[in-house]
């Protein structure tokens, strides 16, 4: 009999590709939704990829409430906790972000351990394993945790760190069979499944729309959403992944390099992608009026890289070429008319 996996937040960008990968590999799959109205959209997105979703069932549960989670966990072998309210449109105040991130994670772990789930794989973020953003260029691994007393830390970083730290602290007190693995991705790009699941690809959409008037001195470690889903699934079953943090990052690229790839490979479709540079002083000025930019300014001119060597050695995981990820992302946005 096929093993059963629960993926939290089935409408999410990463969650959707986890659902796709699990269904393709023959698992019985469950996912949580905050509203039953979203089920049709998730099924339609999977159908658009040609994926048979008859082994997918839905449970109504919200990270901010206890109701529904115990029922969703009964009989589950694994849980992929990828649900996160911390996207580009998330509130920019710490108190509004920490509760759904930290408390939601603890809610998932209590239900999973109570049901005897074998392993929970949780999505964290590479920025949690990053030294102070205003320090010199760096190369970090999974042993790093940023200092919560660091200045200029965005609510997003705080919330992600508190959620992951709370998860490890909870598991340190747990004596049952359930194990935990955390996955720390860089900037998640790649194809979209529908216009409703844009996630972090809005960065690429802004370039294609011409909303970005230039390229600031900012960089991202590109990771493909399909590769990220693959790492979650590998970490779910591999004995060696139990109790591990795993960075999921690919090539570091400056915004100017990303824009160049889009222009070189998309032709006329990228005619609005900026060619000029934005000086640091101008970005800081614009950031006064844009919370998204405000959170990025400490990164100006700095290349904080991470090593994915552990994921490669333990699980045989490898990120695909970043250029392919960017083009698949852009063509997906164009195809779904998400610009």
Rounded (5°) CA angle 186-187-188: 105
Please give the Cα distance from 267 to 259 (Å, whole number): 12
Structure-derived torsion over alpha carbons of residues 60, 49, 204, 123, reported in degrees to the nearest 10: 40
DSSP state of 279: P
Gyration radius (Cα) of the chain, Å: 19
56 Cβ contact list (under 8 Å, min separation 6): 19, 23, 29, 30, 31, 42, 43, 46
Can you give the pLDDT at residue 85? 57
Structure tokens at 104: 């939601």
CA distances from 141 to 52, 161, 162 (A): 38, 15, 18
Q: Which of 160, 213, 272, 310 is catalytic?
A: 160
269-307 pLDDT, tens per residue? 999 999 999 999 999 998 888 766 777 788 899 999 999
CA 140 to chain centre: 19
143's tokens:
């042993």
Element (H, E) at 81: strand 78-81
On whether the CB atoms of residues 129 and 140 are closer than 8 A, the answer is yes
Tokens of 215: 């390229």
Q: Which two tokens stand for residue 36?
A: 């039953």
What integer pLDDT is reported at residue 293 of this predicted model? Answer: 74
Distance CA 14, CA 197 (A): 9
Q: Where are the domains of the chain?
A: 4-335
**180 - beta bridge partners?**
120
Q: Tokens 């830390």 identify what position?
A: 153
Neighbours of 228 (CB within 10 A): 27
Give the global pTM: 0.95
3-state secondary structure of 22: helix
Identify which of 311, 175, 180 has the alpha carbon closest to the alpha carbon of residue 236.
Answer: 180
Given the candidates 3.90.420.10, 3.40.50.360, 3.30.460.80, 3.40.50.720, the CATH classification of the domain at 4-335 is 3.40.50.720
**Regions of the chain short of the pLDDT cut 50:** 88-90
How many H-runs (helices) and E-runs (strands) does the chain carry? Answer: 13, 12
DSSP structural state of residue 118? S
Planar angle of CA 194, 121, 183, nearest 5 degrees:
80
Per-residue pLDDT, 67: 96
Residues in the chain: 339
Element (H, E) at 59: strand 56-60
Q: What is the pLDDT of residue 126?
A: 97
Q: Of the candidates 240, 231, 263, 291, which has an alpha carbon nearest to the alpha carbon of residue 92? A: 291
Sign, CA dihedral 314-320-322-328, equals negative
Beta strands across the sheet bearing 119-123: 56-60, 28-33, 4-7, 78-81, 119-123, 179-185, 245-248
Residue 316 to residue 225: CA distance in whole angstroms: 17
Cα distance between residue 306 and residue 319, in whole Å: 13
Do residues 97 and 90 touch, judged by C-beta distance below 8 A? yes
Locate 242 and state its tokens. Answer: 């139990």
Chain segment 128-179, per-residue pLDDT in tens: 999 988 888 999 999 999 998 888 788 888 899 999 999 999 999 999 999 9
Q: Is 38 among the catalytic positions?
A: no
């Amino acid at each position: 009999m096929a093993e059963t996996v629960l993926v939290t937040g089935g409408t999410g960008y990463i969650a959707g590709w986890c659902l796709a990968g699990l269904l393709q590999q023959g698992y019985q799959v469950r996912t949580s939704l905050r509203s039953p109205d979203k089920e049709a959209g998730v099924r339609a997105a999977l159908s658009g990829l040609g994926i048979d979703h008859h082994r997918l069932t839905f449970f109504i549960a919200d990270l901010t409430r206890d109701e529904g989670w115990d029922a969703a966990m009964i009989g589950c072998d694994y849980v992929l906790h990828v649900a996160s309210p911390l996207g580009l449109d998330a509130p920019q105040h710490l108190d509004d972000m920490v509760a759904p991130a930290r408390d939601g994670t603890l809610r998932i772990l209590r239900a999973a351990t109570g049901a005897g789930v074998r392993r929970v794989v949780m999505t964290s973020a590479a920025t949690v394993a990053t030294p102070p953003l205003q320090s010199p260029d760096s190369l970090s691994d999974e042993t790093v945790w940023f200092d919560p007393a660091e200045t200029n830390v965005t609510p997003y970083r705080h919330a992600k760190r508190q959620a992951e730290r709370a998860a490890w602290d909870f598991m340190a007190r747990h004596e049952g069979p359930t194990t935990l693995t955390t996955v720390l991705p860089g900037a998640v790009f790649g194809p979209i499944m529908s216009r409703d699941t844009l996630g972090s690809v809005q960065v690429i959409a802004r370039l294609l729309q011409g909303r970005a008037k230039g390229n600031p001195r900012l960089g991202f470690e590109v990771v493909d959403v399909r590769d990220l889903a693959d790492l979650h699934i590998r970490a779910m079953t591999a004995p060696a992944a139990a109790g591990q943090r795993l960075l999921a990052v690919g090539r570091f690229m400056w915004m100017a390099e990303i824009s160049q790839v889009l222009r070189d490979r998309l032709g006329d479709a990228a005619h609005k992608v900026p060619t000029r540079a934005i000086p640091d002083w101008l970005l800081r000025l614009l950031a006064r009026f844009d919370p998204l930019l405000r959170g990025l300014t400490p990164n100006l001119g700095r290349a904080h890289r991470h090593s994915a060597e552990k994921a490669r050695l333990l699980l045989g995981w490898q990120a695909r070429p970043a250029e392919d990820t960017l083009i698949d992302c852009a063509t997906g946005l164009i195809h779904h008319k998400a610009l």
